[in-house]
Amino acid sequence: MRIDRVLAGVLAATLPCLSPAQQDTQKEIERYRQMLQESNPAELYEARGEELWKTRRGPRNASLERCDLGLGPGVVKGAYVRLPRYFADTGRVQDLESRLATCMVTLQGFTPEEARRKPFSGTGAPMITTDPFSGVGQRSVMTDLVAWIASESRGMTIAPSVSHPKERLAYQAGERLFYYRAGPYDFGCVTCHGEEGKRIRLQNLPKMTNAKDAQRAFGTWPGYRVSEGELRSMQWRMWECVRQMRFPELEFASDASIALITYLAKQAEGGTFDAPAIKR
Amino acid sequence: MDARRREVLKTGGGVLALAAAAGIIRPGEALAQEWNKAAFETKSVAETVKALGGSGSTPSSAIEITAPDIAENGAVVPIAVESKLPRTQALAILIEKNPNTLSADFEIPAGTDPFVSTRVKMGETSNVYALVIADGKYFHAVKEIKVTIGGCGG
Amino acid sequence: MADPMRIRANMTGDKVEVKVLMAHEMETGLRRDAGGNAIPAHFIRNVSVTYGGKTVLSAQWGTSVSRNPFLHFRFNGGKPGEKVMITWLDNKGEKRTDEAVIAGGG
Amino acid sequence: MQPKMIPALALALCGIWVAGCATRPSDSETERAVAEMIKASFKTRGQATVARLNQDDAQALCSKHAGELPKDVSDGIEKAQQATIRYPSSGKLTGDWREGERIAQSGVGKQFTDAPTRPAGGSCYNCHQLSKQELSFGTIGPSLYQFGKQRGASEAIQKYTYGKIYNSQASTACSNMPRFGHNGVLTEEQITHLVALLLDHDSPVNK
Q: Provide the residue ranges of all domains of chain B, joining segments of one domain with +.
A: 1-35, 44-147
β-strand pairing of A203-205 with C6-12: unpaired
Average pLDDT over all residues of chain B: 83
Q: Which of C54, C60, C93 sits opposite B105 (nearest CB)?
A: C60
Spatial separation of the C-alpha atoms in residues C67 and A226, rounded to whole Å: 8
Domain count, chain D: 1
> Is residue A64 within 8 Å of residue A56, measured between CB atoms?
no
> Taking a C-beta distance cutoff of 8 angstroms, is the pair C100, C9 a contact?
yes
pLDDT tens, position by position, B11-53: 333 333 434 444 444 444 434 478 999 999 999 999 999 999 9
The verdict on a CB contact (< 8 Å) between C62 and B103 is yes
Whats the size of chain D, residue-wise? 207
Residue D132 DSSP label: S
Residue A266 and residue A244 share a domain? yes
Q: Are B153 and A227 inside 8 Å of each other by CB?
A: no
Nearest to A226 among B69, B70, B76 (CB): B76
Question: Hey, is the C-beta of C85 within 8 angstroms of any chain B C-beta?
Answer: no
**Predicted ipTM?**
0.86
**Rounded to whole angstroms, how far apart are CA atoms B117 and C59?**
12
Residue type, C72: H
**pLDDT at residue number A137:** 57
pLDDT at B56 over 70: yes
- Chains in contact with chain B (at least 3 beta-carbon pairs closer than 8 A): A, C, D
pLDDT, tens digit, 9 for 90 and up, residues D16-38: 443 334 456 789 999 999 999 99
SS3 C80: coil
Span C6-29+40-101 CATH architecture: Sandwich (2.60)
What is the per-residue DSSP string for A143-211?
HHHHHHHHHTTTTPBP-----SHHHHHHHHHHHHHHT--BTTTTB-HHHHHSSTTEEETTEEE--TTSH
The most distant pair of C-alpha atoms in chain C lies apart, rounded to whole Å, by 54
Check CB contact of A36 with chain B, cutoff 8 Å: yes
Contact A153, A77 (CB under 8 A): yes
Please list, residue by residue across D71-83, b when 16 or more beta carbons sit within 10 angstroms of its beta carbon and e when fewer do: eebbeebbebbee
Q: Is the dihedral of CA D11, D16, D19, D23 positive or negative?
A: negative
Average pLDDT of the residues in B47-66: 97
- Measured CA to CA, the distance from residue A17 to residue A64 in angstroms comes to 54
**How many structural domains does chain A have?**
2
pLDDT for res C37: 80
- The pLDDT value recorded for residue D170 is 98
Tell me how many degrees the CA angle A81-A85-A90 measures, rounded to the nearest 5: 140
Residue A71 belongs to domain spanning: 42-279
| Residue whose C-alpha is closest to residue B91's, from C11, C28, C71 | C71
Angle (CA) D128 D129 D130, round 5° = 105
The four Cα atoms B103, B109, B110, B111 give a dihedral, to 10 degrees, of: -80
Q: pLDDT value at position B153? A: 62
The answer to whether the CB of C48 falls within 8 A of the CB of C99 is no
- Report the percentage of chain B scoring pLDDT > 70: 76
How far apart CA D143 and CA A40 sit, in angstroms, is 35
Task: Name the residue among A24, A35, A192 with its Cβ closest to that of B78.
Answer: A35
Burial of B59 (0-12, 13-18, 19+ CB in 10 A): exposed
Q: Residue B104 in contact with residue B120, Cβ under 8 Å?
A: yes
Report which of A101, A43, A55 is spatially closest to residue A222, judged by C-alpha positions: A43
Contact C90, C44 (CB under 8 A): yes
Nearest alpha-carbon partner for B1 in D140, A71, D91, C90: C90
Q: Among C13, C5, C6, which Cα is nearest to C74's?
A: C13
Q: Please, what is the Cα angle at A147 between A143 and A150, to 5 degrees?
A: 130
User: Do A129 and C34 count as a contact with CB atoms less than 8 A apart?
Assistant: yes
Are D46 and D113 in contact, with CB atoms under 8 Å apart?
yes
**C12 at B interface, C-beta within 8 A:** no
Separation CA C32–CA B131 (nearest Å): 32
CA distance D26 to chain B (A): 36
* Beta partners for residue C74, in sequence order: C17
The whole-angstrom separation of Cα D170 and Cα D159 is 13
Burial of C44 (0-12, 13-18, 19+ CB in 10 A): buried
What is the predicted pLDDT for the residue at D23?
Answer: 58
Question: What pLDDT digit, counting tens, does each position of D119-133 carry?
Answer: 999 999 999 999 999
Q: How many CB pairs under 8 A join A and D?
A: 163
Query: How many other C-beta atoms can be found within 10 angstroms of the C-beta atom of residue B136?
Result: 11
pTM: 0.87
Q: Which residue of A has its CA nearest to D19?
A: A163
Among A160-164, A196-200, D72-76, D184-188, the least confident range: A160-164
Between CA C54 and CA C63 the distance in angstroms is: 27
**Same-domain pairing of A148 and A270:** yes
Given a contact cutoff of 8 angstroms between Cβ atoms, the answer to whether A175 and A167 are in contact is: no
Q: How many angstroms separate the CA atoms of A232 and A131, rounded?
A: 13
What helix, strand, coil percent values describe chain A, rounded to 5?
45, 10, 45
Q: Give the separation between CA C65 and CA C48, rounded to whole angstroms.
A: 16
Note if A67 is an active site residue.
no
Contact B73 A280 (CB under 8 A): yes
Q: Which of the residues in chain A have pLDDT under 50?
A: 1-17, 123-136
Q: Which of A255, A237, A2 is nearest to A119 (CA)?
A: A237
Model confidence at C32, pLDDT cuts 50, 70, 90, reads confident
A17, A67, A103, A241: the catalytic one is: A241
Q: Are A150 and A276 in contact (CB under 8 A)?
A: yes
> How confident is the model over D150-183, as pLDDT tens digits?
999 999 999 999 999 999 999 999 999 999 999 9
Q: Are residues A158 and A181 in the same domain?
A: yes
Higher pLDDT, B19 or D187: D187
- Quick one: which of D138, D158, D135 has its CA closest to D204? D135
* Under 8 Å between Cβ of C34 and A130: yes
Report the CATH number at residue D170. 1.10.760.10
Using CA atoms, how far apart are residues B83 and B64, in angstroms rounded to an integer?
6
3-state secondary structure of B11: helix
Fold classification of B44-147 is: Immunoglobulin-like (2.60.40)
Nearest one of A280, A270, A254 to A95, comparing CA atoms: A254
Q: Do residues A174 and A261 make contact, with C-beta atoms less than 8 angstroms apart?
A: yes
Contact assignment for A229 to C67 by CB distance below 8 Å: yes
Least Cα distance to A276 among A214, A225, A210 occurs for: A225
Are B34 and B105 in contact by the 8 Å Cβ rule? The answer is: no
Min Cα–Cα distance to chain C from B71, Å: 13
Report D:31-60 residues touching A (Cβ under 8 A): 31, 33-34, 36-38, 40-45, 48-50, 52-55, 58-59
pLDDT at B112 over 90: yes
For residue B144, list its beta bridge partners.
B127
Nearest to B68 among A31, A124, A227 (CB): A31
Length of chain B: 154
Give the per-residue pLDDT at A98.
97
* pLDDT of D143 over the 80 cut: yes
Q: Are residues A114 and A153 in the same domain?
A: yes
What's the Cα-to-Cα distance from A133 to each of A130, A137, A248, A250, rounded to whole Å? 9, 12, 16, 13
Do the Cβ atoms of A226 and B73 come within 8 Å?
yes
Distance, CA of D147 to CA of B148 (rounded, Å): 23
Secondary structure of residue C50 in the 3-state scheme: strand
Percent of chain D with pLDDT over 70: 88
Average pLDDT over residues B1-7: 36
